[in-house]
Amino acid sequence: ENLTKGKVSWESPSNIALVKYWGKYGEQLPKNPSVSFTLNNCKTTTTLEYHPIPPTEDFSFEVFLAGEKAPSFEPKIKKFLERIEVYLPFLKDYHFSIKTSNSFPHSSGIASSASGMSALACCLMSLEQQFNPEISSAYFKKKASFLARLGSGSAARSIEGGLVVWGEHPKIEDSSNLYGTSYPFEINEVFKTYQDTILLVDKGEKTVSSTVGHNLMHDHPYAEARFQQAFQNLKKLQPVFESGDLNTFINIVESEALTLHAMMMSSNPYFILMKPNTLEIINKIWNYRQDTNSKLCFTLDAGANVHLLYPEVEKTEVLDFIKNQLVAHCQNAQYICDNVGTGAKQL
Ligand code: PMV
């Protein structure tokens, strides 16, 4: 073989789930299908520099975050490389410098695992492509998503843009537990430019990691009912995505967010990731909807931050509402404006 040195760069976005993934089995496979909006502004940029080395026992790599050596990330990356080695058998033939930076503030409480793992997966696929130049772009994206999933489940949904489904659903063709795919049915124009303004409520380290949270679904008394509900909600969203029926959209999306946190509160051990300001914000959103004909709604990830979802036409009003009423509940008055994006890109 004639291995050469080189480098490749990708940027990959975060995503926000509408139907949540919470509970897994086997090799990071989801117990229920999920669907998300791919984001646009919250993203990770990763440059992978590689040069061939004599075969080694262990992986040879170093990680830099925003220009600084970041050894604290090494165990997570090492575990990722171990998991994906059977799918990319050349990994031990190289030394890697992984140089990564996030567009969002470090330790903002915004998970960088989806954008970070998907960006790295794309870089590694570009290297694989040098051995197999004939692979199609469809295969490239599927395998990138497959690999990203092994880094962080939700990262499987960050390769494609728009609405992305991850997890097998009987009514969704080509859906798979192994990788994310573009939502295959008709999508109303309103969702193509949907806004997500992320209110930073708490920047602290999460008290319970999502790995622990997923595992607590194993002996959870409501697990089966929850997984069934996610299947149902995804099915119910199909006519909603097509028609743009925002009242039903709001009902499903907010219920998904609160159910996710209800699963945490009813696990054993139980835990709460919402903060008082999370609830203040939720109440103000509900009041705002009652006082106006706004279609603003919220969703939550595994943390205290609140994602505000709304149609682009409402942008001015919602940003005024945020400044006047919600910013007071954010840490250091911080929020990030984002919207639906197009997925991972090679630079
Ligand atoms: O990708 P993970 O293992 O960090 O799981 C994240 C799960 C949620 O963000 C809470 C929901 C989701 O579907 O993104």
Q: How far is the CA of 283 from the centre of ligand 1 (A)?
A: 24
**Ligand 1, atom 7: closest residue by C-alpha:** 21
Neighbours of 125 (CB within 10 A): 26
Contacts of 16 (CB under 8 A, 6+ apart): 36, 37, 39, 196, 299, 301, 307, 309
Q: How far is the CA of 248 from the centre of ligand 1 (A)?
A: 23
Residue type, 127: L
Q: How far is the CA of 131 from the centre of ligand 1 (A)?
A: 33
**What is the pLDDT, as a whole number, of residue 25?**
98
The DSSP call for residue 323 is I
Q: What gap in Å lies between CA 114 and CA 119, rounded to an integer?
A: 8
Residue type, 25: Y
Q: How far is the CA of 56 from the centre of ligand 1 (A)?
A: 34
The DSSP call for residue 236 is H
Q: What domains, with CATH codes, occur in the chain?
A: 6-187 (3.30.230.10), 193-339 (3.30.70.890)
Ligand 1: residues whose CB is within 6 Å?
17, 20-22, 34, 113, 152-154, 210, 214, 260, 301-302
**41 in Cβ contact with 338 (< 8 Å):** yes
**102 in Cβ contact with 112 (< 8 Å):** yes
C-alpha closest to that of 311 among 230, 216, 244: 244
Q: How far is the CA of 95 from the centre of ligand 1 (A)?
A: 30
- Tokens 């130049």 locate to 133
C-alpha pair distances (Å), 195 with each of 107, 295, 298, 301:
23, 11, 11, 16
**98 in Cβ contact with 61 (< 8 Å):** yes
52: phi then psi, degrees, rounded to nearest 5: -65, 145
**Ligand 1, atom 4: closest residue by C-alpha:** 210
C-alpha pair distances (Å), 90 with each of 59, 71, 78, 85, 94:
11, 23, 15, 8, 7
C-alpha closest to that of 117 among 202, 179, 193: 179
**37 in Cβ contact with 18 (< 8 Å):** yes
ipTM exceeds 0.90, yes or no: yes
What predicted TM-score, i.e. pTM, was given to this entire model?
Answer: 0.97
The DSSP call for residue 160 is B
C-alpha closest to that of 273 among 301, 251, 252: 301
Which pLDDT tens digits describe the chain residue by residue (347 residues)?
678 999 999 999 999 999 999 999 999 999 999 999 999 999 999 999 999 999 888 999 999 999 999 999 999 999 999 999 999 999 999 999 999 999 987 766 677 899 999 999 999 999 999 999 999 999 999 999 999 999 999 999 999 999 999 999 999 999 999 999 999 999 999 999 999 999 999 877 778 889 999 999 999 999 999 999 999 999 999 999 999 999 999 999 999 999 999 999 999 999 999 999 999 999 999 999 999 999 999 999 999 999 999 999 999 999 999 999 999 999 999 999 999 999 999 99
**What is the pLDDT, as a whole number, of residue 109?**
67
